[in-house]
């Protein structure tokens, strides 16, 4: 999460660029005040939070599928058995890691 204090950001902008025209200053002030109102009404704070990670899932690599297929072939839906097999699961992935990987791969 990226947290930005709107008031502080605006103060820094005005201090860094004092030559901003009066009209632009009024427009920026109005914009930031509106953003502060929206943020404060939704969260009770004037700090805006923006997630840094993208939305949606990423593709599964071919190596990941190659790792999971023999486990699925041998154990089916028995994820605990997969986690305990040191030959087919040499990375010793946990039950939770295997469950997430299988869900992500659609297996």
Which backbone phi and psi does 90 adopt, to 5 degrees? Answer: -65, -20
Do 46 and 9 belong together in one domain? yes
Q: Is residue 57 part of a domain?
A: no
pLDDT for the residue 106 = 86
DSSP calls for the chain: -EEEEHHHHHHHHHHH-TT--HHHHHHHHHHHHHHHHHHHHHHSSSEEEE--SPSSPPPPPHHHHHHHHHHHHHHTT-HHHHHH-TTT-TT---HHHHHHHHHHHT-
Establish if 56 belongs to a structural domain.
no
Looking at the fold, whether 44 and 74 belong to one and the same domain comes out as no
Same domain, 8 and 43: yes
Q: Give the span between the Cα atoms of 21 and 25, in whole angstroms.
A: 6
10 and 46 within one domain:
yes
The answer to whether residue 55 sits within a structural domain is no
Residue 33 belongs to a domain: yes
> Do 42 and 67 fall within a single domain?
no
pLDDT at 9: 64
pLDDT in tens, 38-93: 666 655 665 656 555 555 566 788 899 999 999 999 999 999 999 999 999 999 99
83: β partners? none
Is there a single domain that holds both residue 43 and residue 72?
Answer: no
What is the pLDDT, as a whole number, of residue 89? 95
Evaluate whether residue 38 is within a structural domain: yes
Residues spanned by the domain of 73: 62-102
Tell me the two tokens of residue 85.
């097999």
**Average pLDDT score over residue span 8-33:** 63
Please tell me the total count of domains within the chain: 2
What local confidence, expressed as pLDDT, does residue 34 receive? 76
- Tell whether 92 is covered by a domain: yes
CA distances (Å), 18 to each of 10, 14, 23, 24, 72, in order? 12, 5, 13, 11, 64
């Amino acid at each position: 999460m990226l947290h930005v204090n709107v008031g502080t950001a605006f103060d820094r902008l005005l201090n860094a660029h004092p030559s901003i025209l009066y009209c632009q200053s009024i427009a920026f002030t109005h914009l930031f005040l509106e953003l502060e109102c929206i943020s404060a009404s939704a969260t009770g704070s004037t700090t805006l939070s923006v997630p840094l990670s993208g939305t949606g899932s990423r593709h599964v690599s071919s190596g990941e599928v190659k790792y999971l297929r023999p486990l699925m072939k041998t154990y089916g839906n028995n994820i605990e058995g997969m986690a305990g097999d040191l030959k087919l699961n040499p990375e010793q992935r946990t039950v939770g890691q295997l469950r997430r990987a299988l869900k992500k791969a659609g297996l």
